Amino acid sequence: MKRTAFFISDGTGITAETLGNSLLSQFEAIDFERITLPYIDSVEKAEKAAARINQAAATHGHRPIVVDTIVDKNIRQILDSADCLNIDIFSTFLAPLERELSIESSYRVGKSHAATTSPNYLARIDAVNFALDNDDGARTRHYAEADIILIGVSRSGKTPTCLYLAMQYGIKAANYPLTEEDMADLRIPKSLEPHQQKLFGLTIDPDRLAAIRNERRANSRYASLKQCYHEIDEVEMLYQRQNIPFISTTDKSIEEISTRIMEETGLQRRLKV
Amino acid sequence: MKRTAFFISDGTGITAETLGNSLLSQFEAIDFERITLPYIDSVEKAEKAAARINQAAATHGHRPIVVDTIVDKNIRQILDSADCLNIDIFSTFLAPLERELSIESSYRVGKSHAATTSPNYLARIDAVNFALDNDDGARTRHYAEADIILIGVSRSGKTPTCLYLAMQYGIKAANYPLTEEDMADLRIPKSLEPHQQKLFGLTIDPDRLAAIRNERRANSRYASLKQCYHEIDEVEMLYQRQNIPFISTTDKSIEEISTRIMEETGLQRRLKV
């Protein structure tokens, strides 16, 4: 079955999208067409949005699902009048919160919600730059400054995880690729020794690794199953011998790898919300 | 006033965190201590979480706010019995959705919600690698493959925006830094000419730019106000002369810059939800 879902916001739409996708994922039998309409911050834009909703209802013979985080009353009214099932996050949950906190929300008094600008901008950019400058073992001299150093074989997920940790949490994450030379005597490389406490290992199912490497360099020794099995065998042995905590990235999203690392290491986010 | 808020999930906690922060931002007068508890997926972990909630209630003399996306009934029951105001996203919104869609949700039948693994993994990693390989004008020969090419002066926000576009939307975003040489005759560099349709400009308030550059290279000519004013003046002239769409990154989060670019260019996300 097909249905249309709109995620509507006067800002980026990220909250409406995140919550909306989470709710819709509970209905696996339905194939949702998802449309995000961000920056709906004027009556004119709201009227266009309402027209799109009504058109989708008329075309598909079902009223769309609308998940929104709109604050402004005039804009709300226009969306409310459209032909849809409206999941209205703010008006649903703010009343009980107001009672609990004995205070009126900015929503109630008609102010828009907090701007997306934050004092975190520089800390975040700093962390992203740190991840870029300390990617792939290119330099090891800044490791003293790192919050964490991810290690693992080529294509096990180190770089995107470092970037996500930087972007989402402001964590300074370096990464170092373990090569065959490094593995010769099953010890971590000399340059990593002073930072043993910061090391966190990634591993991955060898078949999955071979598939990923084949995308990059098809039919190479590097991408061969034999080579992948061999490398993964060695790094897992290394992690165990040296008591380095590690996690498998197989079948995990970058978000999940990152939040599990935060959880296991006890690292605290450096960005304020 | 201080209050404690818990964001609790059997997964990464990203949905509970995103919605929770959005709701709490409506109460600016209150200073919330925010604690995310991800991967609460067993009775044992739930009991520990409930104990933390009760302890916070006892310590601060106020019951905490708990925003959760827990599906499992046994785990829910344990959290429900804790001393808190529970914002229960799923049970609140799934009932009206079930009526609308005439179908039971996985929640109702006790299945956990969709796994975070997705067929997007490779597309996403590909896009992140593309952003890294085509960062800072290092190479221009892959521009034919790019979905978008961000241009702007050094430190105007190109790299983090490219990475966010890759991570969040799977968009292949390259970036090219406009230098003084490039600006000599107020035309885009030759290597960009074949890709004019893909160009998107970033600009930034010169005072803000000077502050950011000073963090990197204090008291340099590069970071001087005069230099920043001059460079921004020139790029904005260039954008206007050559009809290149552009956006100011001043006071905008990376999320906002990215979603506005998606909106203005009409680029479609390449990652399925």
The mean pLDDT of B89-102, rounded to a whole number, is: 90
Q: How far is A116 from chain B (nearest CA, A)?
A: 6
Identity at A189, one-letter amino acid code? P
Q: How far is A53 from chain B (nearest CA, A)?
A: 16
* pLDDT of B233 strictly over 90: yes
Chain B contact for A144 (CB, 8 A cutoff):
no
Helix or strand or coil: residue A141?
Answer: coil
What pLDDT is attached to residue A122?
Answer: 80
> Among B96-100, B146-150, B268-272, whose mean pLDDT is lowest?
B268-272
The mean pLDDT of B31-44, rounded to a whole number, is: 94
- CA R_g for chain B: 24
User: Among residues of chain A, what percentage have pLDDT more than 90?
Assistant: 72
> Among A37-41, B18-22, B184-188, whose mean pLDDT is lowest?
B184-188
CA distance B29 to B176: 43
What pLDDT is attached to residue A108?
Answer: 63
Token pair, residue B4, equals: 């404690």
The mean pLDDT of B15-21, rounded to a whole number, is: 92
CA distance B205 to B232: 8
**pLDDT interval class at A118 (50, 70, 90):** low
Closest residue of A to B98, CA-based?
Answer: A27
Residue among B12, B163, B215 minimizing CB distance to A255: B12
CB contacts < 8 A (A, B): 186
* ipTM given for this complex: 0.86
Chain A contact for B253 (CB, 8 A cutoff):
yes
Closest residue of B to A273, CA-based?
Answer: B21
- CA R_g for chain A: 24
Shortest CA distance to B227 belongs to which of B165, B139, B171, B153?
Answer: B153
Q: What tens digit of pLDDT does each residue of B198-212 get?
A: 999 999 999 999 999
**Global pTM?**
0.87
Chain B interface mutation, best of A23, A107, A128, highest count of B Cβ atoms under 10 Å: A23
Q: Which residues of B touch A18 (CB under 8 A)?
A: 14-15, 18-19
Residues 6+ apart with CB under 8 A from B174: B130, B131, B134, B135, B140, B142, B143, B146, B148, B149, B150, B162
**pLDDT interval class at A112 (50, 70, 90):** very low
CA distance A259 to A196: 21
| Cβ(B122)–Cβ(B101) below 8 Å | no
Closest residue of A to B34, CA-based?
Answer: A273
Q: Which residue has the higher pLDDT, A247 or B185?
A: A247
Shortest CA distance to B165 belongs to which of B155, B175, B156?
Answer: B175
* pLDDT of A7 strictly over 60: yes
**pLDDT interval class at A119 (50, 70, 90):** low
Surface-to-core class of residue A118, CB atoms within 10 Å of its CB (0-12 exposed, 13-18 middle, 19+ buried): middle
Q: Which residues of B touch A128 (CB under 8 A)?
A: 159-160, 163
What pLDDT is attached to residue B72?
Answer: 86
Q: Which residues of B touch A96 (CB under 8 A)?
A: 85, 87
What pLDDT is attached to residue A117?
Answer: 45
Chain A interface mutation, best of B33, B67, B93, B158, highest count of A Cβ atoms under 10 Å: B93
What pLDDT is attached to residue A113?
Answer: 46
